[in-house]
Amino acid sequence: MAAALLSLLAAPALAQDPNRCFDNARMVSAIKESGLAWEQRSPELWRVDLESQTRRFVRVVTSCGRGVVIVFAVLADAKDLKPSDELYLYLLQMASRFDHAKIGIDPDGDYLVRIDLRPRTFDGKDLEAAARQVRAVVDDLTPTLRRHAAK
């Protein structure tokens, strides 16, 4: 599911030029500099499982997208939540609470938390901060989302 989302987000940019957002050596350097235990899943995709207060862990993924470095986590699978006006209103209200994090729904209906970094200026500290903020947003929203669980 996360890989499918990443394909949708990154494929057009990567098909034109695989190094459009960053050179691989620079990304590897930022990954190491972040101090997190990122696992490389493909040449353009890394993931790290961060400790969570509301789940076993939050899996954060990063890659190059359309002119941005994407840092995201799946908040909930589409099948796990019952869509409602109340749920959507809650997500809209929460989206305005966070500085850089975006809350969205992908084409499969999965709910995401995402931060985009500028490829020309990001470094390992930015990558770490984004990953930790994505995890914090997921932790913050999870208890309320459980009330909207599909039964």
Q: Where are the domains of the chain?
A: 2-146
Nearest to 100 by CA among 120, 116, 124, 121: 116
pLDDT at 17 (0 to 100)? 55
Residue 114 has pLDDT above 60, yes or no: yes
* Cβ atoms of 58 and 52 closer than 8 Å: yes
> DSSP per residue over 66-80, as a string?
SSSEEEEEEEE-GGG
Residue 74 has pLDDT above 90, yes or no: yes
Q: What is the pLDDT of residues 44-63, one digit of tens each?
A: 899 999 999 999 999 999 98
Average per-residue pLDDT for the chain: 86
Greatest mean pLDDT range, 22-26, 50-54, 98-102: 50-54
Q: Determine the average pLDDT of the residues in 83-104.
A: 91
Residue 55, Cβ neighbours under 10 Å: how many?
A: 13
Residue 13 has pLDDT above 90, yes or no: no
How big is the CA angle at 133 (ends 82 and 90), to the nearest 5 degrees?
Answer: 30
User: Which of 14 and 108 is assigned the larger pLDDT?
Assistant: 108
CATH number of this structure's domain 2-146: 3.30.1460.10
Kindly indicate the confidence band of residue 150, based on its pLDDT and cuts at 50, 70 and 90.
confident
Kindly indicate the confidence band of residue 96, based on its pLDDT and cuts at 50, 70 and 90.
confident
Eight-state DSSP code of residue 81: B
- 135: phi > 0 → left, psi -120 to 50 → alpha, else beta; which? alpha
What is the value of pTM for the model shown?
A: 0.83
What is the C-alpha to C-alpha distance for residues 46 and 22, in angstroms, rounded to an integer?
A: 14
